[in-house]
Amino acid sequence: MQSFLQKVRDVIRRLWSAPQHQLIDALNPVITGWANYHRHIVAQETFSKVDSHIWYAIWQWAKRRHPKKPPEWVMRRYFHQIGLRRWVFGADTDQLDDCGRPLLRTLRTAASVPIKRHPKIQSDANPYDRAWHSYFAQRAAIRSRVFRARRTDLGRS
C-alpha cells in the first residue's frame, strides 16, 4: 500500500501545475489497476484508507494552486457533489448531459471497485476422476459466463 501511495504522490507531484483533467486522466488508470489487482482479497477497509490518503494529497494539490483563496473557494472549484457523495474531485468536460449541463470527469475511488472472491475448490475434487466431472463442468460454465459478461461490459465502455 505504501509503494502505491508513493506512486500516486509522485504522479501528483509530476503534474503539480497541470490542469485538473490531466491529473484525473493520469491517476484514474493507476487507482483502477491497483484496486482491480487487490479486489480478490478482503480489502474494503484498505481501499477506504487509500482513498483518504489520495483525497488528502489532492486537497494539498488544490490548495497549493490557489494559496490566496479561502478553503471554501477551493472546495467549490475542484470538488463536487454527485448524488449523496460529497467532495468528489472532478472537472467539467466539453460534453453535455440531457439537461444541457457539462458532464463531469471524476477521479475514481478504490472503494468503488467491487470485491470479487474466487470460489474455493473442494479439497477432495479430482479433475481426473469421472465422479467429479459434473462439478468441474459446472465451475467451467460459471467461469465462462463471467468471462462473457466481462467481455460484453468492456465492449460497451
Q: What is the pLDDT of residues 52-110, one digit of tens each?
A: 999 999 999 999 999 999 999 999 999 999 889 889 999 888 888 788 777 888 999 99
Cα(15)–Cα(129) distance, rounded to whole angstroms? 58
Residue with cell 459446472: 138
Residues 81 and 8 placed together within one structural domain of the fold: yes
Count of structural domains, the chain: 2
Query: In this structure, what C-alpha cell is assigned to residue 79?
Result: 470538488
Query: Over the chain, what is the mean pLDDT?
Result: 88
Residues 95 and 150 placed together within one structural domain of the fold: no
What is the enclosing helix (H) or strand (E) of 82? Answer: strand 79-82
DSSP count for the chain of H helices, then E strands = 5, 3
Q: What's the gap between Cα 98 and its chain centre? A: 25
Residues 95 and 128 placed together within one structural domain of the fold: no
pLDDT for the residue numbered 13? 94
Domain of 136 in residue numbering reads as: 119-157
Residues 50 and 123 placed together within one structural domain of the fold: no
Query: In this structure, what C-alpha cell is assigned to residue 11?
Result: 504522479
Query: In this structure, what C-alpha cell is assigned to residue 1?
Result: 500500500
Residues 70 and 11 placed together within one structural domain of the fold: yes
